[in-house]
Structures are given as structure tokens and as C-alpha cells.
Amino acid sequence: MTIQVVAFALILAAIWFLGRNIVHNLEELGKDFNFSFLNSRAGYDINQRLIEYSNDSTHGRAALVGILNTLLVAFLGCILATILGVIAGVLRLSKNWIVGRLMTVYVEGFRNIPLLLWIILIFAVMTESTPQPRDFRGEDAEASMILGESVAVTNRGIYVPNVVFTRSLGGNEMTEAADGVEAAVIPTAAAIDWLLVLVLLVGGVFASKAIGRWATRTQEATGVRPPATFWMQLGVILGPFVVVMLVLGATLDIPELRGFNFSGGIHMRNSLIALWFALSLYTGAFIAEIVRAGIMAVSKGQTEAAFALGLRPNRTMNLVILPQAMRVIIPPLISQYLNLTKNSSLAIAVGYMDVRSTLGGITINQTGRELEGMLLLGLFYLVTSLVISGVMNIYNNSVKLKER
Amino acid sequence: MANTPSFVRTQMLEPQDPPLGEKGVVKWIRENLFSGWLNSILTLVSIYVIYWVLAHILPWALGGIWNAESLSECREIRDASGVGHDVACWAVIGARWHQLLFGFYPSELYWRPILALILFGVAIAPVLFDTAPRKLLIVTAIMPFAAYWLLWGGTIWGPIVTALGFVIGWAIIKYGSATLGALGATIAAIVVPLLYWLFVAGAISGALGSALPIGIESVASDRFGGFMLAIVIGVAGIVMSLPLGILLALGRQSDLFIINKCSVFFIEIIRGVPLIVWLFTASLLLNYFLPPGTNFDLMLRVIIMVTLFSSAYIAEVVRGGLAALPRGQYEGADSLGLDYWQSMQLIILPQALKISIPGIVSSFIGLFKDTTLVVFIGLLDPIGLSNAIRADAAWNGIYWELFIFIGLCFFIFCFLMSRYSMWLERKLQTGHR
């Protein structure tokens, strides 16, 4: 009790001391503490954006663009890192000596060298050793597009085909990107179409889950699984999707060389690519170790018991090994996703406009509102991590082994 | 019996050699590389990938040029030698190694960081290896102050007077417990040195400094750079964050409401926000929180921030170790009549820390790698120096050589740390396998 009172008094004293200093310092600098700067004109451009933004927009809007950019690279990174990590983790356990060694080199290399160095290195590779757009010109061009003349890898970024809707719900959006004006990663005019597609896909997944549950119920009641369940599940996801794509008139907008640069398609900037690849490769190395540990944590007796029950290897994996490995894998996996999201603030190294560069960089420099800006920035990251770790705790509790 | 065998061998046959395909290299290759179509494909793909990477890198790296004054000279040498492909220009490392290692530290004083590093090696030995002589622990205790004095220079009285504060605190715990009681002594051991540092230490060291001016040339923090900067920040962070992290973990596991909530709050806030945001906070905002007119060194701020950041992560790792101990250990310690600190020190922490070694070391590795982030607030770590070197006309456009050198150095440090942790883990392994 005495310790608590002493600690409480010390903490109150520290807070009072800091608070008084802040008030005093703000007074001395002639600044006040308010967030109205978010409504004033930003006056700077952001080259990478998911929503409408121009330099006439507000600082608040700029912050939102930055937040979406952060979430974009975090989302892309999490997907690629999971794929790389699972592959590397499984291959590292493989009996194939050469593959195992190769994966060890990958994992140790990325785990022991700073992420910042990898980001800069990959960015340098992207800008220094890729051809310029003009190298694609002419009959016997030095460089050529890959993947069936659809993807161009240049030192200004990677141009990939874009899906456009000729009969879009949001009006016709087959407009050319003017000179010097970049097309955003996802054209906003097509947002409503993409929303529709997304809703259908999510609905399809739920419907296919329902079919799966129905099939299991039928199997438990009658002993026979309804035929072609898998195809029904697949159809309910893909069917509506294909129909809507056809109705909306989806076509591929393939990038082509016009003048000194490529136009059409999606332009993925080097900054995004370098950040995305570096984050994915780096986090993938950590995920590989998690996956390896998770699989090794399931004791061999489990496999043998499943075989003794007469389960085939496939079902053994799905019904016995994976559910147990998942319990070990998921919590650290999610904390890796969290790390990836936080590490995306290294975007500063390649000039990717994430929330730290917009809200925590240019906006602070222009308005001189360090205290408010950093507070909002910290709050964004904090809320993101608390939400994710909250979800993780719920999950953990639901899969926890029930003990005394 | 009718079916008596008509022939029985009376002596054993010599064992025959296994067939050619079932022994030696052939068997190993067949089992490990080509034991199925999937494995064969994987093997061939891997061999091709290795070949492709080596074919691109080896001629470039091995044919590198080591003696040149600038990048253009490198290119002239390359063109003159008639090599068809690009070659590395390692000369940049020879020309600028002192900057990559020491930053802009005065070159005639290089002996000081080197001596500090050697001393550090001696000081860390008894902590890392229990076979090292225990007397070296005295060096360990003196080391932080000696290192500070060697690196930054200045009067010798500053570090000595500061160290005296710790001696005072230790003396109060040692001799005051009898009169003040354990709790009173602990509180006094915290409060008295604080008061001493705040109000008395400055005056004493000033007086001693003017009376007996012993000192070496002082070096400002902005002269620090390169791997020296990374190691100073990394080591300072590691040394200070471990005890702080353990305290935070104990706080988070504690039953005392206020201490528990404060620890949770601190840990979650620190962990929720990226280090780079904290570093910007340290460089932009710290002045708001300090009394007007105070201004302290950017490097010191960075060390404090890195320490706080890393301690929150270590706290979570140690908490995992504490939670993994069976309840019986806590109850056993209580039933022996040990008080809180005794049971922690003698029963709980030795076991919990042993479990958390891999996590703690990987936090340390993370901290060391994160020292590269200080480049964004204007300190010249190796990556910052690589930019500075490139800004020089002689070496404009040199990327790979510098990156590879820096990456290799970091790799060696971090890899050694992780190997040490694996060795320690094996050594402390007491369970049955």
C-alpha cells in the first residue's frame, strides 16, 4: 500500500511537471493547442493516392490519403509476406538439402540485416538496373514488356494492366490520363463497380461456407456427403462474379508506350514497389520461422494417432495437424502483421507518401503544429495496433486449451 | 519330422557391400535431392537460382577494384583492363573506411573508441561466459562511466561524481536496511541519489574540475557517426533496457493496482507506435516537455527513446516467461517465507529469464538493427554516411559496394548475437529431451 501511494504521488508529480512545462512552452512560443489546421488548405501534392485529392484539399484530407496509403502498403505487404513466409517455412523443413539451405540463407539474411537497408537496396535495384521507358521504343528495342506484352518494368515504376468497366455504374470512365497526370492506383470513378464486385465476392464466400455446413449436416444425418459440394461452393463464389464482370463490360486496359512514357494500366511507383517487396521479404523471413516452429510444435504422436484412426494424409493435415499448428502460429503471425504495419513508416526512406510523410511530415512542417500532428499520428498507429491486438486476444481466448 | 532342412550353413557369410546405388554420395543425393518428382523439380530450380545469382554477382564482386581514388578512376581501370562486364569498386571502402567506422570523430583520437571497445569486450566477458574470472565484474561496474569518459572526453570528474550517486544508493540499501527497514531503505536509495544528482553533483564536479583539472579533449556528439554511433546507441540501449524491461514486466504482473495499470499503459503506448515516430517525437517535441531553456544532446535523447522503446518489448517477452512458469513455483517461494524481492531474485526470475532468452536476444537484435533509423533525424549512422559519401563528387553514383559492406557488418553482429543466444539456450537446458 505504501508503495502504491508513493508511486501514485511520484506519477502525479511527473504528469504535473510535464503538463506545466507544455503550457509554459506553448505560451512562450505564442502557440495554442487546437486542431483547426486540419481544415485549412494543404497546398502540396501527393503523387500516390487512392481517393480524390489535389493541393487545394485540406490537411485533414491529406492525412486521410496518407492513412489509406499506409493501409494499402500494409495490406499488400501482409498478403505477400504470408505467402512467402509459409512457402519458406515449409520448404525449410523439407528433406531436400539444397532447398533447406537456400531457405536458411534467405531467413538469416533478412532477419539479420536492417529493414531500412533492404528498402533502400531494393529501391536502388528498381531505379538503377531497370530500363528507361524509351528503351522500349523501336523495332529492335533493348527492353521488352513481359507476361505477354502486358507488364512493363521500367525505372519509373511497374506498369500493369488495369481492369476497366466499359459499362460502369458510375458513368463512363474510359478517360485518358493526361500528360503529367498520373492515374491513381484504383480509379475512383469505378469505385462503385469494385464495391459491387467485392460485395458479391464476400457474399459468395459466406454462401459457400453455408453450403459446406449444409453438406456436413447432411453427411452427419445420412452418412453420405452430397455430390459435387466442392463445385457448388466454387460456383457460388465465381458465378455471380463472372456475370457481373460481363454485364459491366470488364476489359483489360493494357499499358502502352506513348511519347516518353507509358500510359494506360496501373502505374505502380518504385517507392510503393520497393517498400512493398522489402516489407514482405523482411516480414516473410520472420513468418517463415513462426510457421516452422508451429509445425514442429505438433508432436509426432498426433500424426501417428491420426494414421492409426485410418485418416488419410490429406485429412490428417487438415483435421489434426493444422488446427493445432494454427494455435501456435496465429498469435505471433498477427504480431508480425502489426510490425509490418508499423515498419511501413519507413516509407520515408523512398519517399512513399504514407501517413507519416503527409500528416507527420509535410503538414507539420507547413503549419508548425508538431504537438498536434505527432499526437494524431501516434493515435492512428496506436488505435490500429490496439484494434488488431484486441481482435487477436478474442481469437486467442476462443482457441485456448481449456484447463483448470 | 519330415521337413527337416537338408542343408544348414555352419558359418556366417561375410556381409556384402550394399549395392552402389544404396551407399555414399549416390544414396545421399538420391534421398536428399531427387526423392520424388516434386523434390527433383525443387532441386533443379534451386540449383538454377543459385547459379543465376552467383553468375551475376561473383564476377562483379571478385573482379572488384581495390585501389582507386574515385569512381571515375575505377571505371578507367576497368575499361583499361578490358573486362567485358561491370566490376565492383571496393576502393570506396578503403578510401572511406574511417568514416564508415567512426564518422567525423577526430582521427588522432581514434584510440579512444577502440580502447572503449576493448574495455567493453573485457567488461562483457563475465556477463556472457561464466568461465571468465569473476574479478572482471569490477571492470563491468566501472565500464559505463569509463566508456562515457573515453568517448565524449572532457573532465574526469563528471563521470566519477555521477558514479558516486550509485555508490550512495547501494550504500543506503546495504547499511540502511537495519535502521530504516527494507521498504524505507529502498525508497531512500532511490530518492537520495536523485536529489544528489539534481542539486549536489553539478556543484561538486564543477568545484573539483576547477581545483584539479584532469581531463582529455572533449568530443561533441555531432562528430560521432558510422558503426561507432550504431554500436554506442545499440549497446547503451541494450544495457539499460534489460533492467527497465524486467521491472516493467514485474509491474505488469504485479497485484498492485496503480503500478500494474501504469506499466500496462506505458508498454501498450510504446509498442503501439513505430520507433520512427518516437524518434521524431524526441527530436521535435521533447523541448515542449522540458523546462524552458533546457536543451540536451540529440544523441542522448535518441538513446533514451531507444531504451524506452526496447524496454517495452523486453517487458512483454519477460512477461511471457513469467506467465509460463507453473503457479507452484510462486507458491513454493511463498511457502519458504521469502519476501517478494527474494522470491523474484532467487526463484522466479532465473527460471523466467531462462525461458525468455531467445525473445530477449531477438529484441536486442531488433534494437541494434533499428539504430539505422536515426538517419532520419539527422544523425550520421552507416546509412547516413553512405549518403554523405555519395554526395562527394568523387564517389557520386556508388551504391552496391557501400550497401553490401554495411549489410555485411550488420549481419555479422546480429548473427553472432543470435548464435550466442542459441549456445546459451543449450547450455542452460536442464529439461529432459
Span B376-420, pLDDT tens digits: 888 888 888 888 888 888 888 788 888 888 999 999 999 999 898
State the amino acid at position B185 in one-letter form: A
C-beta atoms of A114 and B187 within 8 A: no
Read off the pLDDT of residues B353-364 as tens digits, 9 standing for 90 and up.
888 888 899 899
Q: Does B261 touch chain A (CB under 8 A)?
A: no
Residues B198 and B315 placed together within one structural domain of the fold: no
**Would you place residue B241 in the very low, low, confident or very high pLDDT band (cuts 50, 70, 90)?**
very high
C-beta atoms of A111 and B365 within 8 A: yes
Find chain B residues with C-beta within 8 A of A113's C-beta.
369, 407, 410-411, 414
Nearest to B262 by CA among A376, A165, A12: A12
Residues B264 and B350 placed together within one structural domain of the fold: yes
Does residue A365 form part of some domain? yes
Scored b (16 or more CB within 10 A) or e, B367-396 reads: bbbbbbbbbbbebbbbbbbbebbeeeeebe
Find chain A residues with C-beta within 8 A of B290's C-beta.
21
Which residue among A109, A121, A374 places its CB closest to the CB of B403? A121
Domain limit, last residue, from B187, B216, B245? B216
Q: Does B399 touch chain A (CB under 8 A)?
A: yes
What is the percentage of chain A residues whose pLDDT exceeds 70?
Answer: 86
Mean pLDDT of the region B139-155: 83
C-beta atoms of B183 and A385 within 8 A: no
Nearest to B383 by CA among B224, B235, B227, B278: B227
Q: Does B289 touch chain A (CB under 8 A)?
A: yes
CB-defined contacts A:B, below 8 A: 147
With beta carbons less than 8 A apart as the criterion, state whether B400 and B420 touch: no
- If one counts the domains in chain B, the total is 3
B20 burial type by CB count under 10 A (0-12 exposed, 13-18 middle, 19+ buried): exposed
C-alpha span between B328 and B9 (Å, rounded) = 64
What is the percentage of chain B residues whose pLDDT exceeds 70?
Answer: 98
| pLDDT of A180 over the 50 cut | no
Nearest to B139 by CA among B128, B158, B125: B125
Residues B288 and B421 placed together within one structural domain of the fold: yes
CA B152 to chain CA mean position, Å: 21
Measure in Å the smallest separation between the Cα of B233 and chain A Cα atoms.
Answer: 15
Q: What is the pLDDT of residue B110?
A: 85
C-alpha span between A81 and A176 (Å, rounded) = 34
C-beta atoms of A378 and B290 within 8 A: no
B200 burial type by CB count under 10 A (0-12 exposed, 13-18 middle, 19+ buried): middle
Residues B288 and B305 placed together within one structural domain of the fold: yes
With beta carbons less than 8 A apart as the criterion, state whether B226 and B385 touch: yes
A279 burial type by CB count under 10 A (0-12 exposed, 13-18 middle, 19+ buried): buried
Between A183 and B370, the more confident residue is B370
Q: Does B20 touch chain A (CB under 8 A)?
A: no
Find chain A residues with C-beta within 8 A of B268's C-beta.
382, 386
Query: Could you tell me the CA-to-CA distances from B96 to A117, B70, B113 in Å, in that order?
Result: 19, 11, 17
Phi-psi region of A351 (alpha: psi -120 to 50; beta: other; left: phi over 0): left
C-beta atoms of A97 and B32 within 8 A: yes
Residues B208 and B329 placed together within one structural domain of the fold: no
Does residue B83 form part of some domain? no
Mean pLDDT of the region B224-245: 90
Find chain A residues with C-beta within 8 A of B262's C-beta.
7, 11
- If one counts the domains in chain A, the total is 1
**Would you place residue A1 in the very low, low, confident or very high pLDDT band (cuts 50, 70, 90)?**
low
C-beta atoms of B262 and A7 within 8 A: yes
Find chain B residues with C-beta within 8 A of A345's C-beta.
274, 276-277
Measure in Å the smallest separation between the Cα of A197 and chain B Cα atoms.
Answer: 34
**Mutate which of B41, B180, B264, B276 to test chain A, going by most A C-beta atoms within 10 A?**
B276
Does residue A68 form part of some domain? yes
**Would you place residue A286 in the very low, low, confident or very high pLDDT band (cuts 50, 70, 90)?**
very high
Does residue B8 form part of some domain? no
- A128 - beta bridge partners? none
C-beta atoms of A356 and B277 within 8 A: yes
- A76 - beta bridge partners? none
C-beta atoms of B33 and A121 within 8 A: no
Does residue B321 form part of some domain? yes
Between B214 and A334, the more confident residue is A334
**Would you place residue A171 in the very low, low, confident or very high pLDDT band (cuts 50, 70, 90)?**
low
Q: Does B26 touch chain A (CB under 8 A)?
A: no
Does residue B423 form part of some domain? yes
Measure in Å the smallest separation between the Cα of A358 and chain B Cα atoms.
Answer: 13
ipTM: 0.84
Question: Cβ contacts of residue B232 below 8 Å, gap of 6+?
Answer: B151, B224, B299, B303
Which residue among B42, B46, B272 places its CB closest to the CB of A385? B272
Strand, coil or helix: what is B252?
helix
With beta carbons less than 8 A apart as the criterion, state whether B379 and B225 touch: yes
Domain limit, last residue, from B42, B62, B82? B62
Measure in Å the smallest separation between the Cα of A403 and chain B Cα atoms.
Answer: 13
Residues B321 and B207 placed together within one structural domain of the fold: no
Residue of chain A with shortest Cα separation from B415 = A112
Q: Domain range spanning residue B193?
A: 156-216
**Mutate which of B71, B190, B256, B277 to test chain A, going by most A C-beta atoms within 10 A?**
B277
Q: Does B271 touch chain A (CB under 8 A)?
A: yes
Which residue among A11, A99, A109 places its CB closest to the CB of B46? A99
Does residue A86 form part of some domain? yes
Does residue A178 form part of some domain? no
Domain limit, last residue, from B170, B187, B216? B216
Scored b (16 or more CB within 10 A) or e, A98-112 reads: bbbebbeebbbebbb
Residues B320 and B204 placed together within one structural domain of the fold: no
Q: What are phi and psi of A160, to 5 degrees?
A: -120, 155
C-beta atoms of A386 and B31 within 8 A: no
C-alpha span between B142 and B13 (Å, rounded) = 73
Residues B239 and B304 placed together within one structural domain of the fold: yes
Residues B308 and B376 placed together within one structural domain of the fold: yes
Q: What is the pLDDT of residue B30?
A: 80
DSSP of A97-124: HHHHHHHHHHHHHHHHS-HHHHHHHHHH
**Would you place residue A187 in the very low, low, confident or very high pLDDT band (cuts 50, 70, 90)?**
very low
Does residue B327 form part of some domain? yes
Mean pLDDT of chain A, nearest integer:
80
| CATH number (domain holding residue B282) | 1.10.3720.10
**Would you place residue A287 in the very low, low, confident or very high pLDDT band (cuts 50, 70, 90)?**
very high
State the amino acid at position A43 in one-letter form: G
Q: Does B127 touch chain A (CB under 8 A)?
A: no
Q: Domain range spanning residue A366?
A: 47-125+272-382
Read off the pLDDT of residues B52-104 as tens digits, 9 standing for 90 and up.
989 888 888 887 788 888 888 888 888 888 777 778 888 888 888 888 888 88
Residues B295 and B331 placed together within one structural domain of the fold: yes
Does residue A319 form part of some domain? yes
Does residue A114 form part of some domain? yes
Which residue among A11, A114, A386 places its CB closest to the CB of B372? A114
Residues B242 and B174 placed together within one structural domain of the fold: no
Residue of chain B with shortest Cα separation from A6 = B187
